[in-house]
């Protein structure tokens, strides 16, 4: 009786190990694919795409000025993230919106009709 019980325990442990290893591997491959897919910051002004910045291939961080008839916004671009560090809009909402690092978040500058969103190629 004892031997059978031990065998069942070993079997359960093996199954748990295999399942968690498979899940871990699947997650690892999934996140690897996400990384390879690339991350883009898409800047739109007045509803039109103004600029597309590849955030997955940024070496040294740099600043990019977006200047339109409504004003300017200074974007700080780093590997995997983008933020607005300065602008001549009223309220500075866009500056206070912080840093974008993943899809689903956005920075809006209403007075300048500017929207920054993050897109990931791996999601499609
Ligand atoms: Zn603004």
Q: How far is the CA of 56 from the centre of ligand 1 (A)?
A: 25
Centre of ligand 1 to C-alpha 110, Å, is 6
Q: What is the mean pLDDT of residues 97-101?
A: 96
| 3-class DSSP state of 111 | coil
Q: What's the gap in Å between 111 CA and the centre of ligand 1?
A: 6
CA of 113 to the centre of ligand 1 (A): 9
Q: What's the whole-number mean pLDDT along residues 79-100?
A: 96
- Helix (H) or strand (E) run with residue 55 in it: none
Residue percentage of the chain with pLDDT more than 90: 78
In what side-by-side order are the strands of the sheet with 99-100? 62-68, 71-78, 81-87, 99-100
Residues lining ion ligand 1 (Cβ < 5 A) are 87, 89, 94, 109
The share of the chain scoring above pLDDT 70, in percent, equals 91
pLDDT at 1 over 60: no
Secondary element (H or E) of residue 11:
helix 2-37
**What is the CA(7)–ligand 1 centre distance, in A?**
66
Say whether pLDDT at 124 is over 80.
no
pTM of the model: 0.69
3-state percent breakdown (helix, strand, coil) of the chain, nearest 5: 35, 40, 25
Question: Tell me, what DSSP letter sits at residue 57?
Answer: G
Average pLDDT over residues 85-90: 96
Gap from CA of 64 to ligand 1 centroid (Å) = 15
Give yes or no for residue 92 having a pLDDT over 80: yes
**pLDDT category, 121, cuts 50, 70, 90?**
confident
pLDDT digit string (tens) for 28-83?
A: 887 766 555 689 999 999 999 999 999 999 999 999 999 999 999 999 999 999 99
């Amino acid at each position: 009786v004892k031997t059978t019980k031990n065998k069942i325990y070993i079997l359960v442990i093996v199954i748990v190990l295999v399942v968690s290893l498979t899940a871990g591997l699947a997650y690892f491959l999934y996140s690897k694919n996400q990384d390879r897919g690339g991350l883009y910051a898409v800047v739109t002004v007045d509803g039109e795409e103004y600029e597309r910045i590849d955030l997955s291939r940024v070496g040294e961080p740099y600043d990019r000025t977006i200047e339109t008839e409504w004003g300017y916004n200074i974007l700080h671009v780093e590997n995997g993230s983008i933020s607005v560090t300065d602008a001549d809009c009223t309220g500075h909402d866009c500056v206070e919106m912080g840093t974008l690092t993943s899809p689903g978040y956005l920075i809006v500058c209403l007075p300048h009709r500017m929207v920054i969103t993050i897109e990931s190629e791996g999601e499609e």
